[in-house]
Chain A
Amino acid sequence: MKLRVNLIAEKEVRDCSVVTPRFLIRLTGALVATAVLAVFGWVFIVSQQRATALKAEEWKWGRLESDFKQAQALSKRLRAAEFIVADLDVWRTVRHKWSDDLTAIAVAFPETLQLTDLSMTRATVIPAVVIPKSKPGAKPPRSPPPSPPEFRTSLRLTGVTSSPTAEDDVAGCRKIFTEHPFTNTVTAAVIPPGAFRQNPAVNAGPNDRIFEIICTYRVITL
């Protein structure tokens, strides 16, 4: 039987393996320190890069600023000029050629009718803007932009006739405004109630009548 005697006190025992607890502690400490330094270094580098990039962009802006202000002023002038040209274009485009209408009326007007009065009026109307109601306590809604003006045109023809076929002739005259060239411009042509009647003039005969036709034109928005 072999006897094994250990004369080293327990506190004097040393671990002879390479991976000692002390080594592990040092390694962990070194790793933690490296990680902390790496994170710190990374954040520092990123921060410095951003600072450099910001300075570069600020320098660029500094060089561009005065030119940009000039460009903005020029752009504003251009927009204003384009608005003026657009306004003029609209003004030219929406024009109604009355000479064409007068020609068409002269050509198609029945010979049995005599026109005594012609009256055309065009009113420029700016439609009212409807402001939406706001809920109590809520912020009032922004008022919508003003509506563009509208041209509302009407034409009134008054005449006399002593023709026995006056009723048909006046109806035919009204029909002129439902055909070319009025198809696209006149929306309604009516003989108002009571407008086709006996001529009230003192020297008027039994066949003498007066008539009236009222035409409403398509509304044109500027």
Chain B
Amino acid sequence: MKKQFTQKEKQQIGVMALMAVIGLCYGVWTLAVVPMRKAASQRTKAIAALIKKNATATAAVAAITADTERIAMIKAEINQIRDAYAIRPILGSSYQLGLRARLEPLAHVTGFTIQAILVQNPESMPRKRPGAPFSLCVAEIRGVASYLQLRDFIAAIEADNPYVHVSSLTIASVSGNVRRHRVILRIECISAPAGESSL
């Protein structure tokens, strides 16, 4: 025989059932939905970051060919500058001989008499960057010449090499000879070690 509940019992059962349902919903929400939503949110962020990273990587990988070509072009340009304009050491380590070999023909053509060339040890150039393929070579040239010969000599140096700077110049008259002056010329030019450097 089916048990008949009183009105009060029915109400109690209803309240208990409602509480059970609420508890169930809360449990499902807390133990399953919230962690899953949190995980999904974290995954969304991770996906967004990875998509961005992959896009950057794809673009970078796509640029490999262009970058390789550009490096080859720059290397060729640098090699051309080095071969044409950089002072190279002769006989192992003498930049002085290398500079003299470049300057003497110019001095001969312009009538400038070189008495001495003193080359300081090159420094990395122009910013102090270790491993740079060029260095800065500072040289002091002492000689004798007339004003116009000196001007022509400097013009010849500047025309011969666009990377040479005249950083100091002193012209002093020679007593008893108004046509000849004592000249101290300081130049700064790019130099490169003998070996091939890698970029």
A111 interface residue, CB < 8 Å from B?
Answer: no
Q: Determine whether the beta carbon of B158 is less than 8 Å from that of A32.
A: no
The residues of A that contact B104 with a CB separation of less than 8 Å are none
Q: Determine whether the beta carbon of A102 is less than 8 Å from that of B36.
A: no
A-B contact pairs, 14 of them (CB 8 A): A32-B25, A39-B33, A67-B57, A67-B61, A78-B67, A87-B125, A87-B127, A88-B81, A92-B162, A96-B165, A102-B147, A117-B170, A120-B170, A122-B165
Which residue from chain A places its CB closest to the CB of B170 in the assembled complex? A119
Q: Determine whether the beta carbon of B54 is less than 8 Å from that of A99.
A: no
Q: Determine whether the beta carbon of A57 is less than 8 Å from that of B50.
A: yes
Q: Determine whether the beta carbon of B58 is less than 8 Å from that of A64.
A: yes
B37 interface residue, CB < 8 Å from A?
Answer: yes
Main secondary structure of the interface of B (DSSP, over half): helix
The residues of A that contact B166 with a CB separation of less than 8 Å are 96, 98, 120, 122
Interface mask (B53-79 → A, CB under 8 Å = 1, otherwise 0): 110111011011001101100110110
Which of B134, B154, B165, B168 is in CB contact (< 8 Å) with A84?
B134
B90 interface residue, CB < 8 Å from A?
Answer: no
Main secondary structure of the interface of A (DSSP, over half): helix
Q: Determine whether the beta carbon of B163 is less than 8 Å from that of A92.
A: yes
Residues of chain A at interface, number, CB under 8 A: 61
Knowing A47-B39, A67-B64 touch, does A85 contact B78 (C-beta < 8 A)? yes
Distance of B86 from chain A, by nearest CB (Å): 10
The residues of B that contact A51 with a CB separation of less than 8 Å are 39, 43
Which residue from chain A places its CB closest to the CB of B5 in the assembled complex? A11
Which of A32, A46, A87, A120 is in CB contact (< 8 Å) with B21?
A32
Identify which of A69-77, A131-139, A185-193 touches chain B.
A69-77
Residues of chain B at interface, number, CB under 8 A: 66
Q: Determine whether the beta carbon of B190 is less than 8 Å from that of A54.
A: no
Q: Determine whether the beta carbon of B151 is less than 8 Å from that of A106.
A: yes
Distance of B186 from chain A, by nearest CB (Å): 9
Which residue from chain B places its CB closest to the CB of A93 in the assembled complex? B162
Distance of B139 from chain A, by nearest CB (Å): 14
The residues of B that contact A121 with a CB separation of less than 8 Å are 167-168
A203 interface residue, CB < 8 Å from B?
Answer: no
Other than A71-B60, A95-B164, A222-B126, give 14 A-B pairs with Cβ distance below 8 A: A39-B33, A50-B43, A57-B47, A71-B61, A72-B60, A81-B71, A84-B74, A87-B126, A90-B126, A95-B162, A99-B158, A102-B151, A102-B154, A149-B126
A91 interface residue, CB < 8 Å from B?
Answer: yes
Which of A47, A91, A114, A115 is in CB contact (< 8 Å) with B126?
A91
Which residue from chain A places its CB closest to the CB of B77 in the assembled complex? A85
Q: Determine whether the beta carbon of A74 is less than 8 Å from that of B126.
A: no
A65 to B56, CA, bound (A): 11
B199 interface residue, CB < 8 Å from A?
Answer: yes
Q: Determine whether the beta carbon of B53 is less than 8 Å from that of A61.
A: yes
Most A CB atoms within 10 A — which of B53, B58, B67, B77?
Answer: B67
Most B CB atoms within 10 A — which of A11, A25, A81?
Answer: A81
